Amino acid sequence: MRKLRTVIIVFVFLLSTLTFNGKSEAAGNIVNPNKVYSYDQMVEDIKKLGSTYPDLITYKVIGKSEYGREIYAISLGKGPARSFINGSHHAREWITTNLNMYMIEEYAKAYRKNSKIKGYDARNILNSTTIWFVPMVNPDGVTLQQQGLKAFPKSMHASLIKMNKGSTNFKRWKANAKGVDLNRQYNAGWKTIHNSPKGPSYAHFKGYSPESAAEVKAVLKLDAEIDAEMAVAYHSSGKILYWNYKQDKSTYNRDLVYARAINKMTGYPLVKPSKNPSGGGYTDWFIQAKKRPGFTPEISRPVYETSPPISEFKGAWQENQAVGLYVAQESAKLFDARMKKEADKLAGSFKTLEKKASNLKVTYFNNVKKESQLKLTKTFTDSYTSIVKESKKLESKAAKIPKKHRKKIDTHIKSINSYKNYAKSYIDAVNSGNALIDSTNNLEKLFITGNLDSTSVSKHKQLTKMIGTTEKKLSKMYGVSTRTLAKKKYIEPASILTNNVQYELDRYNLTLQIENNIKQKKIDAAKANLEKLAKLETDSKKAKTNGNKKYPGKYKTYKKTEDLLKNMRSKVETDLQQLEKELEPKEEPVEEDDSAAENPQ
């Protein structure tokens, strides 16, 4: 019985351990940094981290190495402020990949648990920032250093051995697999780099031109995308901190504060500025090109031409475990200060544009005192186009500014959009009005020349529709007085014409109907329509008289059209009379009785 109880207890314990660890512990121990950490292991772990922390971690391929290995970048966090941490620029320094990957996992765990690392609140920091990592910049070099020639095509073995000074032991390998030192490739003092071999080598060759290596191109492309506020490029060995490269006084003093804070965390002494620094490194470029803080911590004790022993990791982690969070925290502050500065500068640009936009009002309202002033000048339309283009450009920049810094900007945008919208409404209304005038004149010409046909009917319908469209556009114009003038200039003539000629068109259509009645020999229908035609003629005269009382001389009588309609009426009347005669019953002739004459009584 005691044995059975023991078995049951052990079984329950194992089951509970598996159940708990299957979700929690396994998720918390993806990265094992205490071993030789390969490229393939890193890729596997990156994918596991992404699936374990999908709300916090994303990853993507940012390019390929010279031998086609995919270079991965991982983002950690949810905020707009960004920092950048990378490792393994140098092949024999792959322990920095261990540090990068372990840092990602430990920060993600701390976020999920809502815990702190060395006093830094991971959740609070990662909600306001995003840390980007490239844990292995140089996957070819790392693979060659760890695995040797077997990881590369046989056709390349001879050239690799040659670059390695004839040795098949690649433990000292520092460059990428093309023999280019990636941390001498960046375009910061590249031309004056000291002690570079003349050609590809296991170490120190700066390349034939800056930023030509595929791996460096990938890093720079990511850098341009994320626009980091602060960067850390991890290296080994020496337990020292590089932090400066040709700064001016203000940036030097700014970055010294951060360097001292990292020194306090890690214990790494600060490397003193040199008058003629060698350059070519990633942080050299970052500091010089972006004028932002960049740091290169060397995380292990000094080793000579090989990778640091894995035993160095424990101390490196203790020294650097909070560095990423500190950098992210300070990046958020830098980002906020930069956004405020950019917002103030942008607000000034918007203010200038608002003043320019306000000048549009001079054309679409202030100067519109009579109908002749309802027009579009090239100066006005060019100015409007320029404002729209400039506004779009500025608004794309404003979209990147956090909401808390946008109050002034949004006020200016609202005002500018108001001026733009009214200017656009004015342009649309005047263009539509001018088109309406053209259509009105074209229709009137048909009546002046007496050209009534299906085209006239169609153009009348089109004009009626255009009146409605133009009225809608006029209703959006700024100012009651401007709208009133526009209606008088555009709508009134078109409306008068469509009303005035409606009777002529109705008479024309009715006359055509009478012609059809006659063809179909429908005499009664033709006569009834003739009576309607007579009434239309009377109504037409009456409408013109009444219309001219309100709009003197505007309800015109078009002589050629009247002559056409009279001729058409005369013809159908003649045709109807002829039809009536044709259909009139004929009298039968009376036969005489000749029998009386032959037989008189």
- Residues designated as active site: 298
Residue in 299, 298, 315, 310 with CA at minimum distance from that of residue 36: 310
* Whole-Å CA distances, 1 to 14, 48, 508: 20, 45, 116
CB contact at 8 A, 170 and 164: yes
Residue in 239, 244, 269 with CA at minimum distance from that of residue 254: 244
Sheet containing 57-64: order of strands? 57-64, 70-77, 129-134, 81-86, 230-233, 294-297, 241-242
Amino acid in the structure at residue 568: M
CA dihedral 428, 433, 434, 439 (to 10 degrees): 130
CB contact at 8 A, 203 and 265: no
The C-alpha angle 36, 106, 260, rounded to 5 degrees, equals 95
The DSSP line for 102-138 is HHHHHHHHHHHHT-EETTEEHHHHHHHEEEEEES-S-
* Whole-Å CA distances, 343 to 221, 329, 346, 351, 393: 26, 21, 5, 12, 14
Retrieve residue 225's tokens. 């995308």
Residues whose CB falls within 8 Å of the CB of residue 280, separated by 6 or more in sequence, listed in order: 181, 183, 184, 185, 186, 188, 189, 190, 193, 206, 210
d(CA 83, CA 229): 6
Tokens 């006005």, located at residue = 380
Q: What is the DSSP letter of 483?
A: H
* Whole-Å CA distances, 404 to 121, 398, 526, 534: 23, 12, 80, 76
Residues whose CB falls within 8 Å of the CB of residue 193, separated by 6 or more in sequence, listed in order: 184, 206, 278, 279, 280
Amino acid in the structure at residue 157: H
Maximum Cα interatomic distance, the chain, rounded to a whole number of Å: 171
Assign residue 504 a region (left: φ > 0; alpha: ψ between -120 and 50; beta: otherwise).
alpha
Q: What is the DSSP letter of 56?
A: T
CA dihedral 120, 123, 124, 125 (to 10 degrees): 60
SS3 label, residue 306: coil
Q: Would you call 573 exposed, middle or buried from its count of C-beta atoms within 10 A (0-12, 13-18, 19+)? A: middle
CA dihedral 403, 406, 410, 413 (to 10 degrees): -120
Amino acid in the structure at residue 571: K
Residues whose CB falls within 8 Å of the CB of residue 10, separated by 6 or more in sequence, listed in order: none
CB contact at 8 A, 374 and 485: yes
